[in-house]
Chains A and B, each alone.
Chain A
Amino acid sequence: MLVTQEFTVKVDGNIILDDLHLDFGPGIHVVMGPNGVGKSTFAHALMGNPKYQTEGAVQIDGKDLMCLETHERAQAGLFLSFQHPTPIEGLSNFQFLRQAIKTSSIANSLSTYRELLSEFNLPEGFERKSLNVEASGGEQKKNEIIQMLMLDPKVAILDEPDSGLDVDAINVLSKQLTKFANQQNKTLIVITHYQQLIEKLSPESITIFKNKRAKQFDDISIAYEILENGFGIDV
């Protein structure tokens, strides 16, 4: 589980997110909010992106993240699926993952990786391609989810994992995410506005970001209300 207290995020001294008190227990949680409100900023600030200055407290299963560097947060069990994954020329998908698995001390085999590639309908030889270089937007998104499944984190934040995915891929995505979240003590935070995905995931809570603040709702019908009427609600 992931908990934030008085969590504030600044860029160049300007407050982007202010005093967030959020509690993401085991299971799936959806994050929504108007464009530019700071949802991705929230995700990257939790991951420890040096672009952001943060204050307050963030814990994973009681462990403080604020004093950790990005790689230490990853090793502590936090995963972030990027909205725009970074291309790295010359580094193959599997090479990249093998090293990442090593650094996280989690054993997972090439055969599992190949099964996932096949399940997500990625082309043969994808493991040898340079990371996010010659892949379509959809392939990059699938690759991020495969990385998450291979690394098996405690808490995963997925930043719009559905964008660029076709209908079949959305089905595989929701199936895999549900399977992941059904494991014991796994927390999945999904930033999305895609109704079909929200329905399939049956989240535990909906968090709405607005005006630098965020509010968590246990009643997920708020998501459908927003999708129908927009973000005119008070947070």
Chain B
Amino acid sequence: MSDFVYPFSNFQTLLAMGYRNNLLSGRRFTDEIYSNSLNENKKTLETNFLKEAFYKNMQLEKLMSATVDTKPTKSNKVEDYVILVSDGQIEWHPNLRYSSKRYIRTFDYFDSNNNFSLYQNYCKRNNRLGDLAYLNCISPIGISITGNIDTKVTYSSLAKDSLDCNVMFIDITKGKNVRLQEDFVNDNIMLTKIYYIVREGASLELIRNHSKANYNVIESCVIQHPNSKFYADVSSDLGTYSQDIFDIDSYKNCTSYFYSRNKLTDDTSNNVSVNINHYGKDSKSLIDVKTVLDGKSYSSFRGNINIVKKAENVSAKMLNKNLLLNNEAVAVTEPNLDINTKEVECSHGCTISNIDKDVLYYLNSRGYNNAQAKQTIIQGFLSK
């Protein structure tokens, strides 16, 4: 492949032309779930994402006009990692003497026991940018966790490619308690699709920071088996553009907490979408997204709570609060509730506000100067 530069908006056309002949598009893999023959993905390749209602508030034109430079550039050196995920490869840190190796199995396409077929049912196309990750990554990868573990997973580009794609499976064994710290590091564009399977009675705590990635699209599917717990704590403050999309499927007696705290400056664009589907009884969920916007930054939030008819006795709450520090900053919020049963407790509250002058004055009256007062207000606003 010769080196060339193109806008991200041409990516689909290039893929349709067979730009990347990855391991998934080969004939011998067509019986696999990831078989990505161009015909099968025709719909995705022909979709005009800019016109998709799902993306209407996400400033997609900013991502689409970003430049992809295929010339070899300096790779993103990541020294401080435990597990590194990079375009179809997954590896442990070479100097690692870490007990968690006993409880975490990493697998990729070249692993003969990769068991990818087990995840077939979870991989439904939803006509979003994440679908393109299947077509451009070398192969899916995954980790299977069989112990109570607290570890770090870093997503970065090692292949000196300016468009890095990953499809990742994270499978938590029944009854295990896992804490994952996820970092995303990329100077260019990164598309990531992650499936988290939280099996019966297990718990997953996810601490995610995508501040070190420039253009970053992350689509996360969380499948919570009965009696499981999921807790996400997502933060963003730097980076040019980010999309953090969560689809959470919650079955019987599950608990799901989604917190996102973002502090945006300059012309950063941060877009959060959380879709929680309550399929089982007695489950509980909280979506709590707060963003502070300065400069010409932009934030969009879209929250959906869907409760099916048989999911009785569900408690679901959605909050989105935005604090504007500058007149040029823009926040858009869109809460949606789709409740199909009466036996539920469901609420939402979405606000966009400036710094309250009365609060500022109260702090001033206690000796805080304006800068200290604003800092204190922001700190309080972002607290959980």
Binding site for B on A (CB under 8 A): 47-50, 69-71, 74-75, 79-80, 82, 85-86, 88-91, 96, 99-100, 103-104, 130, 147, 151
Contacts and interface: CB of A to CB of B under 8 A. Distances in A.
A72 to B, nearest CB: 8
Nearest to A80: B365
Contacts of A96: 366, 376
Contacts of B376: 88, 91, 96, 99
Contact of B362 (A88, A99, A130): A88
Contact of B379 (A69, A79, A80, A91): A91
B78 interface: no
Contacts of B373: 71
13 contacts: A69-B364, A70-B364, A71-B368, A74-B366, A75-B367, A82-B365, A85-B362, A88-B359, A88-B376, A89-B383, A91-B380, A103-B367, A130-B380
B103 interface: no
Contacts of B363: 71, 88
B354 interface: no
A100 B361 contact: no
B13 interface: no
Q: In terms of DSSP, what is the predominant structure of the interface of chain B?
A: helix
Interface residues of B, number: 23
A82 B365 CA distance: 10
Contact of A86 (B359, B368, B381): B359
Given A90-B381, A99-B376, A130-B380, 8 more contacts: A49-B361, A70-B365, A71-B363, A71-B369, A86-B356, A96-B366, A100-B367, A103-B368
B381 A74 contact: no
Contacts of A104: 367
Contact of A90 (B358, B362, B367, B382): B382
Given A90-B380, A91-B376, A147 B361 contact: no
B206 interface: no
A60 to B, nearest CB: 14
B362 A74 contact: no
B377 interface: yes
A151 B366 contact: yes
A74 B366 CA distance: 6
A99 B366 CA distance: 9
A48 B365 CA distance: 8
Instruction: Choose among B359, B362, B365 the residue with the greatest number of A CB atoms under 10 Å from its CB.
Output: B365
Contacts of A103: 366-369, 372
Given A75-B367, A104-B367, A151-B366, A70 B361 contact: yes
A74 B367 contact: yes
Nearest to B378: A90
Given A88-B359, A89-B381, A91-B376, A99 B368 contact: yes
A142 to B, nearest CB: 16
Contacts of A74: 364-367
Give the top 7 A-B pairs by smallest Cβ distance, nearest first.
A90-B380, A90-B383, A91-B380, A70-B364, A103-B367, A74-B367, A86-B362
A61 B187 CA distance: 59
A100 B366 contact: yes
B370 interface: yes
B365 A47 contact: yes
Nearest to B381: A90
Nearest to B321: A89
Given A71-B369, A100-B368, A151-B366, A50 B382 contact: no
